[in-house]
Amino acid sequence: MSSSQGENALVVTPPPGGRSTAGDGATTAPSPARRPRGTDWRTRAEIALLAGPAIVVFVAFVIFPVLMAAYYGFFRWKGYGPPTDFVGLQNYVAILQDTTFHDALRHNGFIVVMSLVMQGPAAVALALLLNRRMRGRSVIRVLIFVPYVISEVIVGVGWSLMLQTSGAVNGFLTKIGLEAWTVDWLSDPDIAIWSLMIIITWKYIGFAVILFLAGLQSIPEELHEAAAIDGASFWQAQRSITLPLLGPTMRIWAFLSIIGALQLFDLVYIIWGQYVSATAGTSTMATYMVLNGRNAGNYGFGNAVAVVLFLISLVIALTYQRFVLRRDTEGALTGGTK
Amino acid sequence: MAAIAVQTTPARAPGPARRRGSTLHRVNPLVYVVAWLLVGVCIGPVAFIILGGLRTNSQITADPSGFPTTWEFGNYSSVLTSSLFWQQAANSAIAGISTTLGVVVLGVMASFVLARYRFNGQAAMYTLFAAGLMFPMTVAITPLYILVRALGLMNTLPGIILPQIAFALPVTIIILVPFLRAIPKELEEAASIDGASRLGFFVRMVVPLSLPGVVTVGILAFVASWNSYMLPLFILNNEVMYTLPLGVQSFASQYSVDTARVLAFVSLSMIPALIFFSLFERRIVGGLTGAVKG
């Protein structure tokens, strides 16, 4: 924000004061400040040497597979030899007509909304709390981030042991006299998705808190001092200063949370395994993809699911960016870095 | 999963900036109560795992949520003496360190080009990487598996390292470019007057000066690799090649009746990521400061 000129114009738009690079190419006179030395071929060689490896690895392992997914999606293919059995849009028709997929999609939608509702307010409150000067703050911060740092597998294995019918959670409830509250946390279809939401909230709220803390640190202290001098209470100051200035951070967090929720795979697959998630009502598009694609040996079909998942995410991401993020960032995903 | 798809501007030096935002008011004791209550919620399940590893199975069955009555170290020592655990820990370490090195080296080089050169196709190159944020591994996993198989890298660590590097590049580049851009032009001119080539400038000045950003992206890449599950699940298919997350899962299903030992295995496998994060927590928050403002 401070030196916005230089950072704002990053790469996509022509640099301030510089000329458009589109027409004149690399052979015309370089702008004096920027290309002080070196012959042209030498500069090109440097660029190729420095950027080449990253581009090769990235294109080979990210772009190429994604394009291949789109291609394989049109075939009925068991994964061996080149795909030959072209079936057009048949895979896509099958996906869109499959009620199991509809269920998965519905679960994803639920998880998207509930993640925002359950994590957002709590994370803002936590960040405000942890941003105050208090004894042991750094210890508390580290401890609160623990769930975020440990792996999905550990979270999955640990929580599924605790949530077993004869597990620690029900044991604890019985011990404190709430025996009536003991339920089948993981297998009851009415409960399971809520258990999943509790686990997701527990696991990922630390990430939201980290982002919000970083956002809070960029709010100038002077604003709070001024508010204090004017006699504003702590809560008034938070409501009128902190929350509005934290807006951009919240909108970026919400974006990341939505995308993450749409792609959710690890936790569900680890806790509910390959087969139970659909009956427990926690299947997601990604578990549907793995189950019906690779595990079933139908690679063409699996790739088609990946494409559907990608398109749904893309549409949501672009819509969100168009209507929500636009005020903060001008094309963070499609262009510049501001 | 938790790609940090935000843009950074270089963090200010840690120190004074960290004090910002705290208020001048006296802190209410209630704040401490609430804070430590939340810590309890966050740590409770982790404590259950660690303490559970110190109990016996009969204790766990009789009272699943209790504290250890007698301290049972046998579970931990049996895990620590199993060669499979160490093998899997080594696999995780190799994959994590290689991924981190690869991401940092390739990422710094590419970001340097994007930040300090001017050429045709620069915009396209940036957009290419930025668009990578839209391709999470979930979408590409099936063709990635086919590709890795075609390269003959199935069931090898390079088979997970290379894709992990590729998928970590977008975030790395988006975080690093502003760092490199912020290095004053005068430094480059001075270096040039002293006879350094632009590559010499890169090696002697850029790399050291961008260290804070590099540490941030390095930590993110390492923790992501240490914890990654989906890719190893597709690529690695025997216990000796497993990384710890797969090892934990297979151990948990293999010894599902021996809950205490499973808990000990789980506890031990989370230690490195925890240590790593505790050491660098400030740096991560610091490195992201400015990342998230509009």
- A194 located within any domain: yes
Q: Choose from A21, A28, A49, A57 for mutation: most chain B CBs within 10 A.
A: A57
Confidence of residue B27 (pLDDT cuts 50, 70, 90): low
Nearest to A209 by CA among A110, A142, A263: A142
Nearest to B22 by CA among A221, A250, A212, A244: A221
Tell me the pLDDT tens digit for each residue of A90-100. Answer: 888 888 888 88
A107-120: average pLDDT: 91
Q: Is the distance from CB of B53 to CB of B264 less than 8 angstroms?
A: yes
| CA closest to A250 among chain B residues | B292
ipTM of the complex: 0.80
Task: Using DSSP, state whether A73 is helix, strand or coil.
Answer: coil
- A322 located within any domain: yes
Residues of chain B contacting residue A36, judged by C-beta atoms under 8 Å apart: 189, 192
Count how many domains chain A has.
Answer: 1
The CA-based angle B147-B150-B154, given to 5 degrees, is 85
Regarding the domain delimited by B84-245+271-288, which CATH topology (the fold level of the hierarchy) does it fall under?
Answer: MetI-like fold (1.10.3720)
B47-70: average pLDDT: 76
φ/ψ of residue A324, rounded to 5: -110, -50
Answer yes or no: do A329 and B294 touch at CB < 8 A.
Answer: yes
pLDDT averaged over every residue in chain B: 78
Check CB contact of B190 with chain A, cutoff 8 Å: no
Q: CA-CA distance, B30 to B42, in Å (whole number)?
A: 18
Domain with A284 in it: what CATH number? 1.10.3720.10
Among all chains, which residue has been given the structure tokens 């199975």? B57
Among all chains, which residue has been given the structure tokens 């979408």? B139
Smallest Cβ–Cβ distance between A51 and the set B21, B125, B229 belongs to: B125
Answer yes or no: do A303 and B142 touch at CB < 8 A.
Answer: yes
Cβ neighbour number for residue A110 with a 10 Å cutoff: 17
> What Å distances lie between residue A186 and A165, A182, A197, CA to CA?
8, 12, 12
| CA closest to A80 among chain B residues | B146
Confidence of residue A333 (pLDDT cuts 50, 70, 90): very low
A109 vs chain B: nearest CA distance in angstroms? 17
- Predicted local distance difference test score (pLDDT) of residue B26: 60
Answer yes or no: do B192 and A37 touch at CB < 8 A.
Answer: yes
Range of the domain at A137: 99-327
Tell me the pLDDT tens digit for each residue of B149-177. Answer: 888 888 888 989 999 999 888 888 888 88
Smallest Cβ–Cβ distance between A57 and the set B42, B147, B162 belongs to: B162
Answer yes or no: do A133 and B274 touch at CB < 8 A.
Answer: no
Nearest to A332 by CA among B180, B283, B175: B175
Tell me the pLDDT tens digit for each residue of A40-99. Answer: 777 788 888 888 888 999 988 888 888 888 888 888 887 777 777 787 788 888 888 888
- A305 located within any domain: yes
Q: Show which of residues 19-78 on chain A sit within 8 Å of chain B, judged by CB atoms.
A: 21-22, 25-26, 30-31, 33-38, 43-44, 46-47, 49-51, 53-55, 57-66, 68-69, 72
Residue B28, both tokens: 């209410």
A276 vs chain B: nearest CA distance in angstroms? 15
Q: Is the distance from CB of A288 to CB of A305 less than 8 angstroms?
A: yes
- A237 located within any domain: yes
- Predicted local distance difference test score (pLDDT) of residue B287: 58
A200-217: average pLDDT: 85
Answer yes or no: do B143 and A69 touch at CB < 8 A.
Answer: yes
Q: Is the distance from CB of A294 to CB of B87 less than 8 angstroms?
A: no
- Predicted local distance difference test score (pLDDT) of residue B7: 40
Q: Is the distance from CB of B88 to CB of B242 less than 8 angstroms?
A: yes
Q: Is the distance from CB of A31 to CB of A18 less than 8 angstroms?
A: yes
Burial label for B212, CB within 10 Å (0-12, 13-18, 19+), is middle
Check CB contact of B23 with chain A, cutoff 8 Å: yes
- A87 located within any domain: no
Q: CA-CA distance, B107 to A308, in Å (whole number)?
A: 30
> What Å distances lie between residue B33 and A140, A173, A209, B37, CA to CA?
12, 22, 19, 6
Residues of chain A contacting residue B263, judged by C-beta atoms under 8 Å apart: 158, 161
- Predicted local distance difference test score (pLDDT) of residue B285: 64
DSSP state of A330: S
Answer yes or no: do B167 and A61 touch at CB < 8 A.
Answer: yes
Q: Is the distance from CB of B27 to CB of A133 less than 8 angstroms?
A: yes
Residues of chain A contacting residue B46, judged by C-beta atoms under 8 Å apart: 146-147, 150, 158
pLDDT averaged over every residue in chain A: 76
Check CB contact of B44 with chain A, cutoff 8 Å: no
Tell me the pLDDT tens digit for each residue of A130-151. Answer: 777 777 777 887 788 888 888 8
The CA-based angle B30-B284-A52, given to 5 degrees, is 160
Q: CA-CA distance, B207 to B193, in Å (whole number)?
A: 19
Q: Domain-by-domain residue ranges, chain B? A: 84-245+271-288
Check CB contact of A297 with chain B, cutoff 8 Å: no
Nearest to B155 by CA among B269, B84, B283, B243: B243
Residue A225, both tokens: 């001092």
Tell me the pLDDT tens digit for each residue of B200-215. Answer: 777 777 778 778 778 8
DSSP state of B68: P
**Helix residue ranges, H only, chain B:** 29-52, 57-62, 74-80, 83-116, 122-131, 137-150, 158-181, 185-193, 198-201, 207-209, 211-227, 230-235, 244-254, 259-288
Answer yes or no: do B120 and A21 touch at CB < 8 A.
Answer: yes
Lowest mean pLDDT among A109-113, B26-30, B104-108: B26-30
Check CB contact of A275 with chain B, cutoff 8 Å: no
Residue A327, both tokens: 């005020």
Q: Show which of residues 86-145 on chain A sit within 8 Å of chain B, judged by CB atoms.
A: 126, 129-135, 138, 140-145
Residue B48, both tokens: 């259950």
* B18 has pLDDT over 70: no
